[in-house]
Structure formats: structure tokens, C-alpha cells
């Protein structure tokens, strides 16, 4: 049986510097490794992202969603709005969501559970 050691979500990006800055400075995730403009490992609580430049045949933006759990959605939204992040919100019986995008248009969201 295959023994999987870990994993990550690979995010295809158009500009590595812009993507690294957004995920580390704007969202506050930690840059673990960067290999020039070829790859960057970015870590947050419970998630590892791999930033990779999109090739000319790869469609970027809006081809995945990454969710980040928060304990206070209003505070998290207010903090990121001060960094010029724009949101739309959804509220249902189980969870509150604040949806936004990275610089390449990839869908991200903050989620606060109601239970």
C-alpha cells in the first residue's frame, strides 16, 4: 500500500512575486521555501500551498477554491479589507462565508462555523 507523507494544494499563478506577497503579507501565511520563480511552499494552519507559475496552456484563475477557517469572520474580513481585499458574503444555517480572490482570480474564502 502506498504511504502518503503529506500533500498540498497547487495554485497556478501568473506572477510569482505578486502571489508570494499576497499569500504571505496579505493573508499572513508562512513562506517555507521558494525556488526562484519555479515554486514556492506556503504554509498555514492545516494547509500547505504550492505556488507554481502557470504555463501558456494552463488556465489560471477560478479553477479551484481554498477555504480558511476563522473564529471571528467579521474581524478577519475587516483586517483584510484594510489590505484592499474585496469580499462578497454568504450566510446560511451552518456557516458564514466571506468570498474573495487572489491576484490571479483564484477563489478563496473565509469560513466561520455556526456550531
* Architecture of domain 9-113 in this structure: Roll (3.10)
What cell numbers appear for 18 in the block?
Answer: 505578486
Q: Is residue 45's pLDDT more than 90?
A: yes
pLDDT digits (tens, 9 = 90+) for 51-102: 999 877 777 776 678 989 999 999 999 999 999 999 999 888 788 999 999 9
Edge-first strand listing for the sheet containing 9-13: 9-13, 47-53, 39-44, 30-35
Q: Is residue 39's pLDDT more than 90?
A: yes
Helical (H) or strand (E) element with 37? none
Q: What's the pLDDT at 2?
A: 64
Amino acid at each position: 500500500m502506498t504511504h502518503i507523507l503529506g500533500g498540498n494544494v497547487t495554485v497556478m499563478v501568473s506572477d510569482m512575486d505578486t502571489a508570494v506577497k499576497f499569500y504571505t503579507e496579505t493573508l499572513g501565511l508562512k513562506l517555507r521555501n521558494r525556488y526562484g520563480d519555479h515554486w514556492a511552499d506556503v504554509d498555514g494552519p492545516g494547509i500547505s500551498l504550492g505556488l507554481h507559475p502557470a504555463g501558456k496552456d494552463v488556465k489560471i484563475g477560478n479553477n479551484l477554491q481554498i477555504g480558511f477557517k476563522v473564529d471571528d469572520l467579521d474581524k478577519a474580513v475587516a483586517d483584510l479589507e484594510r489590505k484592499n481585499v474585496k469580499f462578497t458574503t454568504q450566510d446560511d444555517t451552518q456557516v458564514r462565508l466571506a468570498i474573495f480572490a487572489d491576484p490571479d482570480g483564484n477563489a478563496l474564502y473565509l469560513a466561520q462555523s455556526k456550531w
